[in-house]
Amino acid sequence: MTIFNEKIDRLKTSSVKWELTKEIFGEADLWPMWVADMDFKPPQAVIDAIKNRVDHGVFGYTFVPPSAAGALVDWLLKRHQWKVNPSWLLYCSGVVQAISAAIQSFTEEGDRVLLQSPVYTPFFEMIKKNNRIVVNSPLTLVNEKYEIDFASFEESLQQGCKLFLLCSPHNPSGRVWTRDELLKIGELCLKYNCLILSDEIHSDIIYKDFKHIPIASLSSDLSERVITLMAPSKTFNLAGLQASAAMIKNEGLRNQFHETLSRQGVFSLNTFGMIGMEAAYKEGEAWLKELIDYLQENKEFVLNFLKEHLPEISCVKSEGTYLLWLDCRKLNVTDDELRQLLIEKGKLALEPGTKYGPGGEGFVRMNIACPREDVKEGLARLKRALE
Ligand X SMILES: Cc1ncc(COP(=O)(O)O)c(C=O)c1O
Q: Binding residues for ligand X, per CB under 6 A?
A: 36, 94-96, 120, 167, 171, 199, 201, 231, 233, 239, 244
User: What is the nearest approach in angstroms of ligand X to the Cβ of residue 324?
Assistant: 14
Distance CA 10, CA 17 (A): 9
Residue nearest ligand X (C-beta atom): 94
The residue (of 118 and 385) whose beta carbon lies closer to ligand X is 118
Phi then psi for residue 112, to 5 deg, are -95, 135
Element (H, E) at 326: strand 323-327
User: What is the nearest approach in angstroms of ligand X to the Cβ of residue 325?
Assistant: 12
Provide the 8-state DSSP code for 50: H
Query: What Å distances lie between residue 269 and 134, 205, 302, 346, CA to CA?
Result: 30, 24, 38, 40
User: What is the nearest approach in angstroms of ligand X to the Cβ of residue 120?
Assistant: 4
User: What is the nearest approach in angstroms of ligand X to the Cβ of residue 310?
Assistant: 25
Half-sphere exposure of 105 (CA within 13 A, CB side): 25
The residue (of 84 and 231) whose beta carbon lies closer to ligand X is 231
The residue (of 233 and 305) whose beta carbon lies closer to ligand X is 233
The residue (of 92 and 341) whose beta carbon lies closer to ligand X is 92
Query: What Å distances lie between residue 265 and 50, 107, 228, 259, 324, CA to CA?
Result: 25, 20, 21, 10, 37
**Cβ–Cβ under 8 Å, residues 290 and 42:** no
User: What is the nearest approach in angstroms of ligand X to the Cβ of residue 62?
Assistant: 19
Strand-pairing partners, residue 363, are: 327
The residue (of 192 and 204) whose beta carbon lies closer to ligand X is 204
If you write DSSP's letter for every residue of 173-217 in order, what string do you get? T-----HHHHHHHHHHHHHTT-EEEEE-TTTT-B-TT-----GGG
Distance CA 288, CA 212 (A): 15
The residue (of 130 and 305) whose beta carbon lies closer to ligand X is 130
User: What is the nearest approach in angstroms of ligand X to the Cβ of residue 275?
Assistant: 17
